[in-house]
Structure 1
Amino acid sequence: MSLSRQGSNAQYTRVDAQHHDDDDDEYENEARTEGTVDELVESDDPEHPANLIPELCRGFYTLGWVTGTGGGISIKKGNLVYLAPSGVQKERILPSHIFVLPYPQPSVVKAHTERTFLRKPKQEGLKESACTPLFWNAFDLRSAAACIHTHSQHAVMATLLWKGETFEISHQEMIKGIRLGGTGKTLSYLDTLVVPIIENTPHEEDLTDSMNEMMKKYPDAAGILVRRHGLYVWGPTWQGTKTQAECLDYLFEIGVKMKLMGLSVCPAKEGGL
């Protein structure tokens, strides 16, 4: 299924594709054949992405992940991508603030390029998140259903104490909450968790290519750390993405504490338990 804009009255019409998966079927059952673009974010279903994003952002705010309007989340459902806005207090986001984009776009949503939207908020001053092309990396390279970006201090501290291009930790129970590549099978207690680190840039969109390259270099990674900035993490569902974000944040926090205390963070490589 795809949606296309029609006319100046900002309407959309559903166009059925020749092939779609079960997720598409689920969404098509919810979608109207024709309606206003605001109907893309109007639903009584608490698990509709336009309702989930504000709820999740409120939770992330209390964790200190999205303070100062930074950070965000994007959820892909069927052939639609729902995107939290930029410049809004994350604990006060409403469904009416959500941007909706078609997926896939004709090409990867690259930095500083025009993007196709099915729905933009009516409120003045709202713009799409600068994280958009980085979220797209997760959708295109990992077939993810959601991507979360945090400004967690635990993530930032991990990038400061691990000077190389990866954060590594082993023999921690919470590693079992992480999936290979973010969407594959779960890791075991004995596995070494490896999270790549890329260097920060003055403008978020300029991280797109380095994130893309590091995801290809480390196909088993479930997230990407940005030095002095934060974390991008993705998953097969919004629930799985949230779970992995929580597990990774725990592992960054305990890893930092262990390193500062002089404890072995990665016994698999540092001479045993």
Structure 2
Amino acid sequence: MSEQLVQSEDLHHPANLICELCRNFYNNGWVTGTGGGISVSNGTHIYLAPSGVQKERMQPEDMFVMDRATKEYLRRPTQYKPSACTPLFLAAYDKRNAGACIHTHSQNAVLATLLYGKEFQIRNMEMIKAFPRITESGYYGFFDTLTIPIIENTAQEEDLLDSLAKAIEDYPNATAVLVRRHGIYVWGETVWKAKVYNEAIDYLLEVAVKMKSIGLDPMSDI
């Protein structure tokens, strides 16, 4: 039964998708070494990439599988440890009913947290249109301001849980939380939405960092 949870020829099966996306993140420079992670919800199950595995070499049989309701592991590979990101992923599932949650160590995310205080904000950018308003219908427009909360890092990943959960509650329109000098957590209604949000946010973070480096304000109308 345990192996049936991860062995599938369906390329859209969560275990296969996680491997594909981890390679994508690695090639984009968002995860290096064994850092970062991703989890995908599939009905009553949550699939989680393990700790300590190089993302570009990950295989479906490396996945942990959790019961979404009870939070008990249905599959737990003995050679690996569960990701330290797991409690943070679960916060996105429980508080936002997310379909997937991504954690990267993107340099754009890290640099942006060094240039901003409690929030990252940007406006007048086409890629802002990628984001839903969440608390109301429709998507953001070109002239709208995208706001992403920034929380302080901790020595241990799981110790970020309280501040991340509070940021999710305090920013109901956000699809991500930045962690200073660390990276970013991004979630979405589906795995594909989470991928789109992650890509769009990283683009905007990179633009903002470059704008500030040449003396331009990402919030200006110029």
TM-score w.r.t. length of structure 2 = 0.97
Which residue of the other structure, out of 77, 91, 101, is the alignment partner of 1:121? Answer: 77
- Does structure 1 conserve the Cα–Cα contact (< 8 Å) formed by 2:101 and 2:187? yes
What is the identity, as a one-letter code, of the residue corresponding to 2:10? D
Equivalence for 1:160: 114
Question: How far apart are 1:184 and its partner, in Å?
Answer: 6.6
Instruction: Rate the CA distance shift 1:170–1:188 in 2: closer, same or farther, 3 A.
Output: same
SS at match of 1:127: coil
Distance in 2 between the 1:255 and 1:149 partners? 20
Q: The residue matched to 1:256 in structure 2 has which SS?
A: helix
Which consecutive aligned stretches of 4+ in structure 1 deviate over 6 angstroms post-superposition?
Answer: none
State the alpha-carbon separation in 2 of the partners of residues 257 and 84 from structure 1.
32
In structure 2, C-alpha distance between the alignment counterparts of 1:40 and 1:183, rounded to whole Å = 36
1:245 and 2:201 aligned: no
Match of 1:151 in 2: 105
Q: How many residues align?
A: 222
Per-residue CA deviations over 1:209-255 (Å, capped at 9, x if unaligned) read 10001111111111000000000000011111000000000000000
The aligned residue for residue 210 of structure 2 is 257
Deviations 1:31-69 (A, max 9, x none): xxxxx2110001110000011001110010011111011
Match in the other structure for 1:234: 187
Could you tell me how far apart the structure 1 residues matched to 2:113 and 2:69 are?
32
Contact 1:170–1:189 (CA under 8 A) maintained in structure 2: yes
| Matched residue, 1:71 | 36
For 2:172, the equivalent position in structure 1 comes to 219
Question: In structure 2, do the counterparts of structure 1 residues 255 and 47 end up closer, same or farther at CA, with 3 Å as the change threshold?
Answer: same
Structure 1 residues 145-203: Cα deviation after superposition (integer angstroms, max 9, x where no partner): 000001000000000011x2100000000111122349974211111000000000000
CA RMSD between the two structures = 1.4
- Name which structure has the greater RCO, CA cutoff 8 Å, separation 6+: 2
| Identity %, equivalent residues | 54
CA distance in 1: counterparts of 2:138 and 2:91, whole angstroms? 20
